A and B are shown apart, each in its own frame.
Chain A
Amino acid sequence: MTTPHSSLSSTGPSSTGSAATRTLGIVCLAAMALLVFLAFVASPRDAVQGDLVRLLYIHPALAWTAYLACFVAFGASIWHLAKRTEASDVLAHSAVEVGAVLTALTLATGSIWGRPTWGVYWVWDARLTSTAMLLLLLLGYLALHRIDAAPEVRSRRAAVVGVLLVPNVVLVHQSVEWWRTLHQDPTLARRDFDFATSDLFMFTLVYSVVVMTLVFTWLLIHRFRVGWLALQADELWLDAAIEARRSEAETEADTEPEPVASTPEGGTP
């Protein structure tokens, strides 16, 4: 990396790694290795579900981090609407992007689990439907963040959608509760696992949530830094362009006495 841009480097990262994140990365790797050991070697097969139970060591953890990502995006969006800082926008965007991947993985692992258990990849189960809706909302945010408009306009509009993410998730979830009371769905009853049967099962489940939260934190920090560096690169490019135009204007002014400020975009002498 060349010299960081002066106005930005004082408040943000200048590379994608640091001693802290490298340590976090190593901790994540070690924790993942232990999770793999616990999930595939140490824990026994389930009497009812067989080896399928091992999917549950990742699926609920993915769902939890997806919701966590939404809450981070929600907080960062409010921050952006209040202070309009670039960092808050980059944080919200990073959280939504990581969240969208996690939500998609939640749906995928759920489907893989559902095919042998329920006999189908997809049921119009309340939880599945609300999660799919969440994925669409996140994709909507990303689409809005990618529009061809001024960065401030884009960021502010995306922030409004980011704020609406959480109330909507809550609303969909609430409707799910009411839906379930009206339409008894047997698939949901299977979610009431009997944790008392295996202490190791319970431990691995909770441990997987902790590991995934760490991994999510690591991913979010790195995505944030990449976003920040992209901003910096944009500014550097702009500075270079302005500098080039200015020196061009100066050489023109040396040769003929023309007004300096009126040089058109990309104009050749």
Chain B
Amino acid sequence: MFRDAALMAGKDLRIELRSRVALNQILPVAVLILLLFGFALDPDSPVLTRATPGLFWVTVLFVTVMAVERSFSLEAADGVRDALRLSGLHPGGIFLGKLAALAVQLAAVQVVLLAGVMVLFGRELAGHLLLVATAVAATAGIAAAGTLYGVLAAGLRVRETLLPLLLLPVLAPVLIAATRAFETALDGVPSDGWPWFNLLAVFALTYTGFGILAFGPLLEDS
């Protein structure tokens, strides 16, 4: 299963490297959202500094919807899904592979966004260990839920509108937990943030486990 996952992730990332959709479209949109928050909340006001963790994760969620769309539009071409079904790859492996490729892209976006909030919002980074741990756990959870809901909406004519409606409420716990953990890390009291990290880890494990189980039947009729 893990060998299949590596194959799948490699395929998705190679397509991304060659097509540069993530780099040329998704990443600029993420930075654009940060700039819009700046315009809306007035760059000089302390609100922007205080709201940084929330704005950061809201931006990540918006980007996730686009990245999931992109991840499954790769498989939308004629016959690709049939080929995937006939390839003999383990469905759980396909799920993990797509999850990994999505997580790598989201992680790259987050690095740029963190640099963005440092420069644009004037926020100093503190509590590095908690920041990194939160980002890893949250990214895993977001990618797992994103991949699962991506295949749920795949192949439907209404997928662009259906995906955010299904995915964003499900990601609400991640938004809450990741925002609180970032807040405590940036405020310099990381010890308060670790329970939030635990929630993120439970979320990621739940969705990854369920995704591995459910991906086969979903792929069958997508």
Contact = CB atoms under 8 A, between A and B. Distances in A.
Nearest to B203: A171
Given A137-B170, A161-B152, A178 B199 contact: yes
Nearest to A141: B166
Interface string B180-199: 10000000000010011001
B157 interface: yes
Contact of B199 (A147, A150, A156, A175): A175
Contact of B195 (A137, A143, A164, A178): A178
Given A164-B170, A182-B180, A143 B206 contact: no
B202 A143 contact: no
Interface in B144-184: 148, 152, 156-158, 162, 165-166, 168-170, 172-173, 176-177, 180
Interface residues of B, number: 29
- The A contact surface, by secondary structure, is helix
A143 B165 contact: yes
Interface of A: 81, 133, 136-137, 139-140, 143-144, 147-150, 152-153, 156-157, 160-161, 163-164, 167-168, 171-172, 174-175, 178-179, 182
Q: Which 3 A-B pairs have the closest CB atoms?
A: A136-B169, A140-B166, A171-B173
12 contacts: A81-B217, A133-B172, A139-B165, A140-B169, A148-B156, A156-B218, A157-B152, A160-B148, A164-B170, A167-B206, A175-B177, A178-B195
Interface of B: 148, 152, 156-158, 162, 165-166, 168-170, 172-173, 176-177, 180, 192, 195-196, 199, 202-203, 206, 210, 214, 217-218, 221-222
